[in-house]
Structures are given as C-alpha cells and as structure tokens.
Structure 1
Amino acid sequence: MIKRVFAIFTLTLLFLLSSPVYSLDISSKTLEKYTKKISSKFTRTYCNTTKFGISYEGALAFAIGETNKEFKNNKLNKLIDYSLLKNSIVNDLENNCQVYDFEISNLENLKFN
C-alpha cells in the first residue's frame, strides 16, 4: 500500500515537473502585424471622422484618443517602432483616404503607456 502511494506520488511529481515552460518569443512578423493593425485602426477612425464633417484637428484628436484607448494595454507596445508606425499611418492615409498633406509630427501624441 505504501509502495503504491509512493509510486503514484513520484509519478505525479515527475509528470508535473517534466513539462517545460517557455518564455514569450515575439517574432518580427507578429510585431509587424500588430503595427499594421494599429495603423489600420487609426486610418479608419480618422477617415470616418473627417467624412462626418469634423475638422481635421478634431478628427486627429479623436483618432488618437480612440487608438490609444484600444491598444494601451497590449504587451507588444514596449516593442513598437514608433517611426515605422507613424510612416505606416501616413502611407495608409494617402492610400485609403487620399489625405496627402498629413504631417508625421501630428502623431506625437500617439503613445501607448
């Protein structure tokens, strides 16, 4: 009886401790996909807001606020290349909204803390 209990205890302990734990490995593809998702969200929000007749400054403030609110708690935010994100947003605005005079400096408040 004691041998069986000891054997079950040993096997259970061996089974529980043999499972390896892997650290979080974030690929560049995952980070690129996340950056594109942020860029698309900002562009969609900005375009829709300007189409409703809101001023460009108001649309910019609203799009930055909505994008910050949606993505502020993601663990990938520490790894974002903000210059790449801002360039992606400007390119998306040109391609999707036909906004050609958008300055990258307008996106200074787009930070996820």
Structure 2
Amino acid sequence: MVIQAKISGAEAVKLYDIKMENAAIIRKAAREIMVSGHQLEFLGFSDAKYYKIIRNQIEDFRLLFIDWVAGFNPKHYIVDEWGLFNPPGISPDYVQRDDELDFLDEDDEDN
C-alpha cells in the first residue's frame, strides 16, 4: 500500500526533492517486502517457497523504478536545507535565485 501511495504522491508534484523523498520511501518498502520473504523462510513457513514469485516481481519493479527516477527533472527543485534530496551538485546552503524557480509558474502537465 505504501508503494502505491508514494508513486501517486511523487507523480502529483513537480518538486525534485519531494519526488526523491517518495522514491526513498518506495525503495524502503520494497526492501522490507524482500526481507519479509527471508523471515518466512527462517520461521519455517511451508509456503515460503512461493515468495520467489514476489521477489521476481520486486526485481522487475526495481528496474522500472530506476528508469522512473532517472526521469525526475533536477531543475524543478527548491533547496533541501537538510541536504538529503537536493539534485546533484546542489549543497544545503546553496542560495537559489528567483529565476531558478520559474518552473513553479509553468502550466505544463510534466510534473
């Protein structure tokens, strides 16, 4: 449920940092799904062998995820003062110019 909600959240905004924040949460949720399969095996659940199907689906999703994140527009950002989700090359103390925020007034459908 988290993955679905965060994909929707990332698609609903233009801001690079919010998209990346959602992407990080999606990654975490997918990794938790992978770990749960190992836990089922460890606890001896007889049907844990079917978890390989889910692992394969997560791997397919991971490859799509990489392409999706690569499509985020790094020019559509507001400086993340925490420094975690800034585009490459932008430091937390970067002073953003007004003309760098022009994308906020665009009416295009590309988020």
Structures share a fold, TM > 0.5? no
Q: TM-score, normalised by structure 2?
A: 0.31
Q: TM-score, normalised by structure 1?
A: 0.31
Which of the two has higher C-alpha Rg? 1
Higher helix share: 1
